[in-house]
Amino acid sequence: MHRAYAFILLATLAACGGGSSPAAAPTPAPTPTATPQPAPSVNPYVAACGNPLPPLQSSDGFHVKVQLEPTKNKKILNASPEVRNAEYCNAAGFTGYTVCNTRNENDPTRVPCDHYISGISDTGNPGPNWFQQVNGQWEKCPGTNTQGNAPDCRLKDENQYLLDVFAGGVYKACGGEGSTGTCSNCILNESDFGVIHKSPAGLCKH
């Protein structure tokens, strides 16, 4: 009787897995770590420009004019960024204007405000990119460290807003990286060269 009971007990334990170690719990998969995203870059001229800040969406290109005529066959173009926004113009001191400069010419914040709305050119300097129309195509004006195929213009290393021009043609200034990329033209006649003008500012036709 005791032997039969012992046999039944052993058989029951074997059927229930008696005597074996409990199965180990599965190791949880590691939680994937999110890749940190770089912080958005802040335009370095925002703080220096201050308030009011020219609204980028109101950029109206540039007012391009002949700044100087060093010789009869060389003109220097100057591109000043403009803003088309009556509310901003009023706040910046241009009361009653719809289109205006970023600041008054004598305002110390004029330069950083111009840089802010003009963006960064391909040279890495603040200011516009310059082009000349050649055979119906826009060719980039070259500089000391910047290549370009335009034959009659050259960048000025000390100031991206200025351009040396040596012949009649169509030239344009376009906003750089960080701007809206708006452009403005200056058309110079071949007859404008070979002579020094008393007032060259009005030579550009738009």
pLDDT in tens, 77-136: 999 999 999 999 999 999 999 999 999 999 999 999 999 999 999 999 999 999 999 999
pLDDT level of residue 14 (50, 70, 90 thresholds): very low
Structure confidence at residue 206 (pLDDT): 86
Structure confidence at residue 44 (pLDDT): 85
pLDDT level of residue 16 (50, 70, 90 thresholds): very low
Task: Work out the average pLDDT over 160-188.
Answer: 97
Which of 155, 172, 182, 144 is CA-nearest to residue 54? 182
Could you give the C-alpha distances from 39 to 36, 42, 86, 108, 200, in angstroms and in order? 9, 9, 33, 30, 47
Residue 7 has pLDDT above 50, yes or no: no
What values do phi and psi take at 130, rounded to 5?
-115, 145
Residue 25 has pLDDT above 70, yes or no: no
Structure confidence at residue 201 (pLDDT): 93
For 72-167, strand residue ranges (E) read: 74-84, 99-101, 129-134, 137-140, 153-155, 162-165
Cβ-contact 90, 134 below 8 angstroms:
no
